[in-house]
Amino acid sequence: MYQKVVNIYQQSNITTANPAKLVIMCYEGAVSSLKLARDAYAAKDYGTKGKALQKAIDFINELNASLDMPKGGHIAVNLRALYMYMTQALTEADLKKDLKTFDDVIRMLEELESAWKAISTPPQRTDDAKPQQSGISPYGVARQTMSAQAWNA
């Protein structure tokens, strides 16, 4: 019963989240799955490691697939290369039992997650300030400055 309520709540969060929140949720999912995979590997729980690693790679692939290349410009190109590197590095690290690479990818994902959280936090607005368009993210998400944010996927 409890798990069913948790699943409904999680599904509600996903379907009602704005695009920036979805990107952050993918980073959080990738990091937590990769940490679980690393810990399961160290504990020689290879079944859990395999499932968690695949889930982390799925999150990274989702981030890659959601890039808006025309709007994202060189940032999107660089992120795509980084996501491809992460996927390949994790696959090779799994074959070579290289947990250091797991930690390296975790750090990269945490830095990207932190950056997304920073740009998703609305700045403080003074009463006479007007929102201005400050740019397009590599995911095609328009960002407003000041207190209001308008998200366009």
Per CATH, domain 18-119+130-144 is 3.40.50.300? no
Q: 75 near 138, Cβ under 8 Å?
A: yes
135: three-class secondary structure by DSSP: strand
Look-up: residue for tokens 């932190």? 114
pLDDT digits 0-9 by tens, 112-145: 999 999 988 876 666 555 555 445 566 665 443 3
Comparison of pLDDT for 8 and 61, the residue scoring more: 61
Q: What percent of the chain has pLDDT over 70?
A: 69
Instruction: Please state the rounded mean pLDDT for residues 55-69.
Output: 96
Look-up: residue for tokens 């490691």? 49
Q: In angstroms, what CA-CA distances link 111 with 25, 34, 59, 86?
A: 14, 15, 16, 14
pLDDT (0 to 100) of residue 56: 98
pLDDT (0 to 100) of residue 153: 34
Query: What is d(CA 109, CA 104) in angstroms, rounded to the nearest whole number?
Result: 9
Domain ranges of the chain: 18-119+130-144
Query: What is d(CA 128, CA 49) in angstroms, rounded to the nearest whole number?
Result: 54
pTM: 0.73
Mean pLDDT of the chain: 82
